[in-house]
Structure 1
Amino acid sequence: MRKTTFMAAIILLVASCGKTEQNPLLSSFDTPHQTPPFDKIKAEHYEPAFDVAIEEAKKEVEQIASSKENPTFENTIVALDNIGEKMNAISGIFFNLNACLTDSLMQDIAQNVSPKLTSFSHAIYMNPQLFERVKQVHEQKATLNLNPEQAMLLENTWKAFIDGGANLEGADRERFKEISIELGKLSLTFDKNELAETNAFELHVTDEKDLSGLPEGAKEMAAMTAKQRGKEGWIFTLHYPSMGPLMKYADNRTLREKMYRANSTRAYKDNEYNNEEVVKKITALRLEKAKLMGYPTYANYALTDRMANTPEIVNNFIAELHEASYPYALKDKKEVEDFARKAGLKGELQRWDWSYYSNKLMQEKYALDDEMLKPYFKLENVQKGVFDLATRLYGITFKEVNNIPLYHPEVKTYEVYDNDGSFLAVLYTDFFPRESKGGGAWMTQFRGQKIVNGKDQRPLVSLVMNFTKPTDTKPSLLTFNEVTTFLHEFGHALHGMFSKCTYGSTSMDGVSRDFVELPSQFMENFALEKEWLDTWAVHYQTGEKIPQEYIDKIKKSSNFQAGYASDRQLSFGMVDMAWHTITEPVTEPLVDFEQRAMGKTEIMPLVKGSAFSPAFGHIFAGGYAAGYYGYKWAEVLDADAFSLFKQNGIFDKTTAESFRRNVLEKGASENPMTLYKRFRGQEPTVDALLERSGLKNL
């Protein structure tokens, strides 16, 4: 996931921080590569820093808007792209920490500063003098002799003004402002509620008999969690490294059911953290905003700059893949159900049974299990394998350093150098779960790449994961899924680190949602390649290379239940599109709405009281609204792209250089399909994906 941070924070009037020279956020960062001075920053620094930075940015806006010079590309469009350097730097620090090292104070800061930052954006896009200058430059675009990146910046700036309400007047303009401010607050509330619910649940087991079937590593981690909380026995939480093994291995069906119900009712209980009304308010306000802008639905409004630029294209794409996937999903379900009955299951196969019996079926069919593979996937070895892969493909190198300030003791930092020895980026890694961190995995940036005063400002990239923690007796041993997650997020990191753009708006942060997942999902392909696994996967105790038979089994099992997996992923996209193609606010129960949206994908019995949307952070707090389909869309691209590597050799430097030059370096500097075709020489079709997934010719 490519994480989008929220432009938000609180005013805390702290006299000791009132002076600019005392606030580290308002001074030049006297650190290696101008990295954030986390060792000096405190929560009370953020308010005065945001206050000063916003005021400075407002003055910059006014200077451009009131200029007596005729508007040009440089003095208007480029000048706008450079506005708010200090504000953006502070935002890049604060909102990233609010996602991975938050507390109630940080969350309150986010809630209260959100309106200030949203109001600042309105001061840009609803400034009539500024809009007139942008309009004049835009009208001259055919005669300006702009290069492709400049043309893209101009078009994106024009569109940002239009989408930001520049053409609105009177009451519509004021309502647009109110909606934008409220949406910012609601997204933060959604995130806060989901995290609170995740942290509130614990499954406390006191009888070891109830842990039958669980691997020793999972039991040890649960015992460690209980000890840390001052309790006897074992504690399992809703963080995936804890929940996942219980759902997959626990013979105790009651425990699996408790865990499933807890996870599927997050932020959907009768308490202060219930997100149902938050979801309805967000979608109603998004709809109202779209209508103010002249669009029938929010999806119509949001998709205009995507590769799939209309709801019809997206829905047809989802329908095409669903038609191909659903028969296989039914086949997968029957296979698991038949196996479960032979294994003694009484009654209907339930959702809390799926991982358990599916895993046992895979063991029977392929003699393969995560516990067999984990000893070969020690985190440090996986990281070395991933770094070395980047070195082999692109010639870049990684140097761990200890002189860069950290925001948490578990974080590590690396200087990344290009193949010519020049400095490329700083990379932060933050691998393990904690209560102050959101769930999932993502890549983000404390600072993006662009040209500043003629110099290339290199990015500060961060990888945030929730991997299995080390225990007292074992290092962090990853599941195969966690290995692919590492590759996925590292693909995003390469996209950020390789950026070679002139403007901030045309670098990686501007890439459309249905193209930004290509570099990440492309990297996942290497997890199935013997040539790569052979270079690093060794047993953490014996040093023995991963057996060839294990690699063969990984390959053979790669499409195990691919129909079910595809069907489930498509259901998420259907729910997303349903919420964002409403034409009237939703008043019915949330679960009823969800079931109508994704009912055609359902192959398992419904679980009363559970809901998906209240914890669907991607679309309600993560920037993927009307964009979740992008994961499947990018699968089409990555399958087609990797087929060229398979044809030329997975480590072929010429192919890798072309991918870097035409995709990874370009950010949003050109049309994404133009970039893709320049690399691949053709437009992609779903055929490569269906072939790779085994979803053809049932």
Structure 2
Amino acid sequence: MSETKGAVASNGLDRPLELNPLLDPEPAQPNPLLEPWQTPFETPPFDRIKPEHFMPAFEQAFADHAGEIAAIVNDVAAPDFANTITALERSGKLLSKVASVFYDLVSAHSNPAILEIDKDVSLRMARHWNPIMMNAVLFGRIAALRDNAASLHLKPEQARLLERTYTRFHRAGAGLDDAAKARMAEINERLAHLGTTFSHHLLGDEQEWSMELGENDLDGLSDSFIASARAAAEERGKPGKAIVTTSRSSMEPFLQSSLRRDLREKAYKAFIQRGNNGNANDNNTTIVEILKLREESAKLLGYPTFAAYRLEDSMAKTPEAVRNLLERVWKPARARALADRDALQELIAEEGGNFKLAAWDWRHYAEKLRQRRANFDDAAIKPYLALDNMIAAQFDVATKLFGVTFHERKDVPVWHPDVRVWEVKDAKGEHKALFYGDYFARASKRSGAWMTSLRDQQKLDGDTAPLVLNICNFAKGTNGQPSLLSPDDARTLFHEFGHGLHGMLSNVTYPSLSGTSVFTDFVELPSQLYEHWQERPEVLQQFAKHYQTGEALPDDLLKRFIAARKFNQGFATVEFVSSALIDLEFHTQPASASTDVAAFEKRELEKIGMPEEIALRHRPTQFAHIFSGDHYASGYYSYMWSEVMDADAFGAFEEAGNIFDAATAKRLHDDIYSSGGSVDPEAAYVAFRGRAPEADALLRRRGLLDAA
């Protein structure tokens, strides 16, 4: 008996429940995760779901899925597309349903009970998937179909699915010998545990740290920031206080505006030391073990490094291609950053400061320099970037481009009172999707911003409409005041909504190819491309209204905002590219080179000439992109790879002379946003743009072309 089945039997879930009213007077309570959802659009009944419901639901889901896989493996009929590939696509529905709800709560609204369950589920998930992805009989059926694909007369989407299914199983180790499979399974289980550990450690440090601001600590801070700091304190059980947290929406404006250099230093050091404090949440040993196991798994599969393994199945294909792009951008970015550093030091001296520019000073003096050079600062425009107005703007852009409309619903259950839900309708007024927005920072939510889904679009068994989520960490207003966004926050809002549209506009048959199921270095194209509209005068003139007066954004301020967009791009590009290079080096060098994580980081930064006044955007011990799971491991460069495409892609609208040009928008919808993973990404891009992207578009957008 398998381990999964044994666990199911021990909980009595493999047989009908028989009750003896004398021995068991209390009938088992219903489990909402295992019942049909009698909610609008069959959405998760979050108001009924409790932590204790998850493990029984997972047990049932694992058992159901194992049975479905066994039926495929044991099918005596010769393999064909329907009994193998389609059957695989139909399997695991309950597991997907339960897991999507669970992982939403783990990330967006956790509690100690959920986090404890997460430790068990991550291990159980690995133990469930290992024997499936390494099943020799199942892989044999898939391989036989692939070998005879030419005779199967498949539609293009079916051919793509067959190739992607074969690749997924092959790369999971299905072709290894038994000993190698056993070791790979051990590695996968351990990596699942370590990824969860990394996430929990990071969340722990973020929950434990905050800096209280007294009345004498508020110099330089805007009224909107102070209101947000009070809201953050109230959310953490400190009513009447004001705090800075490690959320970027709290930390970065504080570092920009605070006149208290000592407090900027204290806050900055706490921010960059997350996961690196030598306490119970320290991530150093976790990173070392992750890198060692990734290297071993890659070598089991025949690759020299983990980066070589991961990048083979990407647009970039090789570590060398990634390094070439990053170095092409690094040189002009570093040159610009060094020039800006000198200008910031001059500004300090001019003010009479007798100190050397430090990392906690950069944002503060860069903001002052921007005010001088461009006569613009974030505080001037934030009153015009109320969250509700920017949500309306992102919806309006989608309506003008793709014909979809958004209608708020109050009858859909949510996981937190702050979560809002909109029904999405297509141009014909028919239901297309549900969109959930969870925008505010709180202690129960991990840091960052992301898009995910509770249900993906697919047409295999009737039209299934997606349930798409955007999760952010913006500072919440207080006393009835709206949340005011910085330009970076507003850009983040549009970025995540671009991902959301990728999920909502998906129009494919098979679940494995739905929405964002694309190469990592292509998935950021729809999101980063969408950012362009947030900064356009046509959008800001309509939606950037003063939160108190309703006054439209003044033309003069708009012009100064647009002129200031390329300011400090040396800094922004350096902090990103250095993180991407560190990620690449972690996964191309032998794991033995990084047994001391801090020393490795220092050595690599010295090698590239990292300015000491700039830190990595994500230092290793808080680099959740690459260590809380492996989705972006060796792939953090993807944002920049996609930026080459997005900068070039927006040029199609500029060349058309209209940022809402109907013909260009239709190509964008058909070739990029709706095709999911059903088309090779290079072919998808060329179909939209008519040619391959031009790399200089990225440098031009960031204002770095003259420094190249």
Q: TM-score range by the shorter chain?
A: over 0.9
* Match of residue 109, structure 1, among 109, 117, 135: 117
Task: Evaluate the alpha carbon distance shift between residue 16 and residue 244 of structure 1 in structure 2; reply closer, same or farther with a 3 A threshold.
Answer: farther
- Corresponding residue SS for 2:543: coil
* Match of residue 222, structure 1, among 221, 229, 235: 229
Q: 1:499, CA displacement in angstroms?
A: 0.3
Q: 1:120, CA displacement in angstroms?
A: 1.9
Contact 1:58–1:123 at 8 Å: present in 2 too?
A: no
CA distance in 2, matches of 1:590, 1:359: 32
- Corresponding residue SS for 1:79: helix
Contact 1:449–1:499 at 8 Å: present in 2 too?
A: yes
Greater displacement, 244-253 / 175-184: 244-253
CA distance in 2, matches of 1:667, 1:611: 29
CA distance in 1, matches of 2:513, 2:82: 15
- Corresponding residue SS for 1:289: helix
Indicate whether 1:390 and 2:398 are aligned. Answer: yes
Paired residue total:
686
Task: Evaluate the alpha carbon distance shift between residue 611 and residue 346 of structure 1 in structure 2; reply closer, same or farther with a 3 A threshold.
Answer: farther
Task: Evaluate the alpha carbon distance shift between residue 217 and residue 527 of structure 1 in structure 2; reply closer, same or farther with a 3 A threshold.
Answer: same
Matches within 5 A, 1:565-580: 565-580=572-587
Indicate whether 1:241 and 2:249 are aligned. Answer: yes
Deviations 1:510-544 (A, max 9, x none): 21110000010001111221111112111111111
Contact 2:232–2:476 at 8 Å: present in 1 too?
A: no
Matches within 5 A, 1:357-368: 357-368=365-376
CA distance in 2, matches of 1:437, 1:82: 32
Matches within 5 A, 1:117-516: 117-206=125-214, 208-226=215-233, 229-230=237-238, 233-453=241-461, 455-472=462-479, 474-516=481-523
% of aligned pairs identical?
37
TM-score (ref. length: structure 2): 0.94
* Match of residue 660, structure 2, among 651, 658, 663: 651
Greater displacement, 577-586 / 392-401: 577-586
TM-score (ref. length: structure 1): 0.95
Contact 1:153–1:506 at 8 Å: present in 2 too?
A: yes
- Corresponding residue SS for 2:477: coil
Contact 1:11–1:47 at 8 Å: present in 2 too?
A: no
Matches within 5 A, 1:628-639: 628-639=636-647
Contact 2:474–2:489 at 8 Å: present in 1 too?
A: yes
Deviations 1:487-529 (A, max 9, x none): 1000000000000011111112421110000010001111221
State the match for 1:4 in structure 2.
Answer: none
Q: 1:680, CA displacement in angstroms?
A: 0.1
CA distance in 2, matches of 1:150, 1:15: 39
Contact 2:594–2:600 at 8 Å: present in 1 too?
A: no
* Match of residue 530, structure 1, among 512, 532, 537: 537
Q: 1:596, CA displacement in angstroms?
A: 2.5
Deviations 1:397-453 (A, max 9, x none): 001111111111111111000111121100001010111101111111011111232
State the match for 1:676 in structure 2.
Answer: 685
CA distance in 2, matches of 1:540, 1:491: 25
Deviations 1:543-587 (A, max 9, x none): 111001111111111110212211221001001111111223345
- Corresponding residue SS for 2:636: coil
Q: 1:156, CA displacement in angstroms?
A: 1.1
State the match for 1:696 in structure 2.
Answer: 705
Greater displacement, 327-336 / 492-501: 327-336
* Match of residue 673, structure 2, among 664, 667, 679: 664
Q: Give the RMSD, CA atoms, in angstroms.
A: 2.2
CA distance in 1, matches of 2:559, 2:9: 58
Contact 2:505–2:673 at 8 Å: present in 1 too?
A: yes
Deviations 1:176-229 (A, max 9, x none): 0010011111111101000110111121233x2332111122223334444563
State the match for 1:95 in structure 2.
Answer: 103
Indicate whether 1:557 and 2:528 are aligned. Answer: no
Indicate whether 1:518 and 2:525 are aligned. Answer: yes
Contact 1:265–1:611 at 8 Å: present in 2 too?
A: no
CA distance in 2, matches of 1:596, 1:451: 51
Contact 1:448–1:509 at 8 Å: present in 2 too?
A: no
Q: 1:610, CA displacement in angstroms?
A: 12
Indicate whether 1:626 and 2:626 are aligned. Answer: no
State the match for 2:602 in structure 1.
Answer: 595
Deviations 1:33-64 (A, max 9, x none): 11111111111111111111111111111111
Contact 1:439–1:466 at 8 Å: present in 2 too?
A: yes
Contact 2:397–2:533 at 8 Å: present in 1 too?
A: no
Contact 1:396–1:416 at 8 Å: present in 2 too?
A: yes
Contact 1:224–1:234 at 8 Å: present in 2 too?
A: yes
- Corresponding residue SS for 2:591: coil
Task: Evaluate the alpha carbon distance shift between residue 225 and residue 80 of structure 1 in structure 2; reply closer, same or farther with a 3 A threshold.
Answer: closer
Q: 1:675, CA displacement in angstroms?
A: 0.1
CA distance in 2, matches of 1:314, 1:16: 49
State the match for 2:25 in structure 1.
Answer: none
Greater displacement, 120-129 / 487-496: 120-129
CA distance in 1, matches of 2:115, 2:676: 31
Q: 1:345, CA displacement in angstroms?
A: 2.4
CA distance in 2, matches of 1:43, 1:227: 25
Deviations 1:290-312 (A, max 9, x none): 11111111111111221001111
CA distance in 1, matches of 2:174, 2:322: 28
CA distance in 1, matches of 2:439, 2:307: 34
- Corresponding residue SS for 1:22: coil
Contact 1:13–1:48 at 8 Å: present in 2 too?
A: no
Contact 2:231–2:476 at 8 Å: present in 1 too?
A: no
Contact 1:21–1:27 at 8 Å: present in 2 too?
A: no
CA distance in 2, matches of 1:32, 1:210: 48
- Letter matched to residue 491 of structure 1: G
Runs of 5+ consecutive residues of structure 1 not aligned to the other structure: 1-9
CA distance in 1, matches of 2:286, 2:702: 37
CA distance in 2, matches of 1:378, 1:408: 21
Contact 1:265–1:610 at 8 Å: present in 2 too?
A: no
CA distance in 1, matches of 2:372, 2:665: 38
CA distance in 2, matches of 1:45, 1:279: 32
- Letter matched to residue 190 of structure 1: F
Q: 1:462, CA displacement in angstroms?
A: 0.5
State the match for 1:7 in structure 2.
Answer: none
CA distance in 1, matches of 2:614, 2:503: 41
CA distance in 2, matches of 1:496, 1:327: 39
State the match for 1:5 in structure 2.
Answer: none
Q: 1:233, CA displacement in angstroms?
A: 4.8
Task: Evaluate the alpha carbon distance shift between residue 224 and residue 326 of structure 1 in structure 2; reply closer, same or farther with a 3 A threshold.
Answer: closer
Greater displacement, 230-239 / 32-41: 230-239
